[in-house]
Amino acid sequence: MTRPDRTMADSLAERLSGLDLPGRLHLIAAEIPGRLVFTTSLGVEDQALTHGLAMAGLAKGRVEIVTLDTGRLFPEAYDTWAETESAYGIRIAAYAPERGAVEAFVRQEGINGFRRSVAARQACCGFRKVEPLGRALDGASGWLTGLRAGQSANRAETPLAAFDPARGLIKLNPLADWSRAQVDSFVRENFIPYNVLHDRGFPSIGCAPCTRAVKLGEPERAGRWWWEQEEKKECGLHVGRPAASIQPGQEPAIFESNPDVKTRQPEFAR
């Protein structure tokens, strides 16, 4: 079997650019040999992609759909998970953090110890997300995500396909060039199940204690780890070096409680 490499990824990115979503998904399934894994956060982009995979006949077998159950998700995320499985007749496999890592962190740092420093938060994301992701992608040739270039400055250069040398696979972002308005319209028009928190000012949804509604005029991901400086706000899943690069004492002051925010009108309510 031909192993994925940079040449394959670059060629695929070019060919994907002129296709619609079904065409992109069929090309990915045809061109990448071996195991394909889609990691869904159950957010609106990932719900759109789940629908696309189901309609293309790829959600049962060819593409494995998995999610990272961190143990700190909003109840609404679990409701979306169940509704999605029912709507499409699929199972979304769960990858959870190792019990020992969770217990050790809470014992040492406290239940919300990730707010003490950026390094502690990155450590929490490490055992709750990055390590389970490694297990989910073990042996995979292709990794599908719902990343879009418009989600944040950190993601502005998101390609449709790129070789991930650290994992030895091709990372595929079929919605990379979609706008948020396109995603919302696609979900509305196709009656796709979505997390009701999107209607309450949460354009990006992660773990419950690390996500708030956004203020008027803020970027989509401003509600994620809102107490940190903007350039440090990734969990490690979609960056080249997931290990903590900021030591305790170097991070900005943190706020223990969510500020009162005036949320913008969500796309779905317009």
User: Taking the domains of the chain in order of start, what are their residue ranges?
Assistant: 6-269
Annotation-wise, does 83 bind a ligand?
Answer: no
Residue with tokens 């396109």: 182
Tokens read off for 209: 């204690």
CB 40 within 8 A of CB 65: yes
Annotation-wise, does 133 bind a ligand?
Answer: no
Residue with tokens 């696979």: 169
Note the maximum CA span of the chain: 55
Annotation-wise, does 126 bind a ligand?
Answer: no
Band of pLDDT at residue 247, cut at 50, 70 and 90: very low
Supply the DSSP symbol for 267: G
Residue 243 has pLDDT above 70, yes or no: no
235 or 197, which is more confident? 197
Residue type, 195: N
3-state helix, strand, coil in the chain (%, to 5): 40, 10, 45
Neighbours of 125 (CB within 10 A): 23
**Whole-angstrom distance, CA of residue 146 vs CA of residue 24:** 13
Supply the DSSP symbol for 211: B
Band of pLDDT at residue 156, cut at 50, 70 and 90: confident
pLDDT of residue 233: 45
pTM: 0.83
Catalytic residue numbers read 235
Per-residue pLDDT averaged across 115-121, rounded?
Answer: 90
Neighbours of 2 (CB within 10 A): 10
Tokens read off for 169: 């696979």
Band of pLDDT at residue 129, cut at 50, 70 and 90: very high
Annotation-wise, does 207 bind a ligand?
Answer: yes
170-194 pLDDT, tens digit per residue, is: 999 999 999 999 999 999 999 999 9
222 or 157, which is more confident? 222
What CATH topology corresponds to 6-269?
Answer: Rossmann fold (3.40.50)
